[in-house]
DNA sequence: CTGAATCCAGTCCGATACTG
DNA sequence: CAGTATCGGACTGGATTCAG
């Protein structure tokens, strides 16, 4: 119990100033959390349904991410005591408030993908074909809209 | 040459869909990049001046982050061939476009820090004092506004 | 001053196996 | 169905040292 249990440290010690910015940023900056929030906009989902929609996420990471979101008050976890266990996750009003500016950023990314790619190509050409070792970032799913 | 050279992979392989969202998100979600963008709003800065203002960042990470930002077209690097080398970094128009929605998110974080903390306290109380091992996120500097 | 290169601890997260 | 436990590889980023 010291690794996949809660996650989201990411930002270590800095000066003495703000703190909440680093929390939000590390929240949306991790690999999956912002996608989870995107999928949860519009409708509550059960664990495995959510797992299917995010597609590619491991249950370990989904569990940990959801717990962090629940702890921070962005997601509500509702457990139905049915015979096969059933748990529903939904965005809280607070979570929807976060989802809104977040989707703006996602939309910006979608709208400007071409510009970024062009800038990178130009940069790589300028630096003389010496490709850096930055690994190509792999695809991800669109914002939400299921 | 395979580590501090270019950074920003973070998001590995996922399905076959979007990709740009993960790029932007991993870009701003890392420990320092969004702070750098925030400091660069309003005025261009030289390397060490920027390093001083971000305060706590190592030159290795600052160098790598700046290079990634330049490559993606968000920051322009201007080298003055003076006797002590002088390099200026400034946001491009594209960079300012990114900075805007980003600052909205930062403002959201500032405005809702209390709510997040309260939610966490409530959660920790509910789960019976069994504190999770999530490390307390440390402070960071405010948005920008120099 | 502006970086590049190396060393290295701490994290993230994917795969797999097991439980109520 | 909804998790928990563990192993292991990959990546982040801090400190330090060296160079143009």
Question: What predicted TM-score, i.e. pTM, was given to this entire model?
Answer: 0.82
Q: Which nucleotide is nearest to B29 (CA to C1')?
A: D12
Residue of B nearest to A111 (CA): B20
pLDDT of residue B11: 57
Nearest residue (CA) to C1' of C5: B1
Cβ–Cβ under 8 Å, residues B6 and B68: yes
Of the candidate ranges A50-64, A102-116, A130-144, B76-90, the one whose mean pLDDT is the lowest? A130-144
Measured to protein CB atoms, the chain D nucleotides within 7 Å are: 1-8, 10-17, 20
Taking 60 as the threshold, does the pLDDT of residue A24 lie above it?
Answer: yes
Q: Could you give the dihedral angle defined by the CA atoms of residues B125, B127, B133 and B134, in that order, rounded to the nearest 10 degrees?
A: -70
Q: Which H or E element spans position A91? A: strand A86-91
Report the phi/psi class of residue A12: left, alpha or beta, with left for phi > 0 and alpha for psi in -120 to 50: beta
Interface probe for B, chosen from A10, A15, A25 (most Cβ of B below 10 Å), is A25
CA distance A78 to B133: 23
Of all nucleotides, the one whose C1′ comes closest to residue B14's CA is: C14
- B130 pLDDT tier (thresholds 50, 70, 90): low
Q: Is the CB of B120 under 7 A from strand D?
A: no
Tell me the pLDDT tens digit for each residue of A32-46. Answer: 899 999 999 999 999
Q: What is the mean pLDDT of residues B119-142?
A: 62
> Distance from B44 to chain A by nearest Cα, in Å?
20
Confidence of residue A10 (pLDDT cuts 50, 70, 90): low
At residue A1, the 3 state secondary structure works out as coil
Q: What are A54-96's pLDDT values in tens digits?
A: 888 999 999 999 999 999 999 999 999 998 999 999 999 999 9
Residue B89's SS3 state is strand
pLDDT of A11 reads 56
């Amino acid at each position: 119990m010291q690794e996949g249990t809660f996650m989201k440290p990411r930002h270590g010690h800095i000066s003495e100033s703000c703190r909440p910015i680093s929390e939000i940023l590390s929240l949306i900056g991790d690999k999956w959390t912002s996608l989870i929030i995107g999928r949860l906009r519009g409708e509550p989902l059960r664990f495995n349904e959510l797992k299917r929609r995010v597609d590619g996420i491991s249950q370990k990471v989904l569990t940990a991410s959801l717990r962090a979101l629940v702890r921070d008050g962005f997601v509500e976890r509702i457990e139905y005591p049915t015979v096969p266990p059933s748990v529903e996750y939904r965005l809280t009003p607070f979570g929807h408030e976060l989802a809104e500016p977040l989707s703006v950023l996602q939309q910006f990314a979608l709208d400007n993908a071409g510009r970024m790619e062009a800038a990178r190509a130009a940069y790589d050409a300028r630096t003389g074909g010496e490709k850096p070792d930055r690994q190509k970032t792999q695809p991800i799913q669109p914002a939400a809209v299921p």
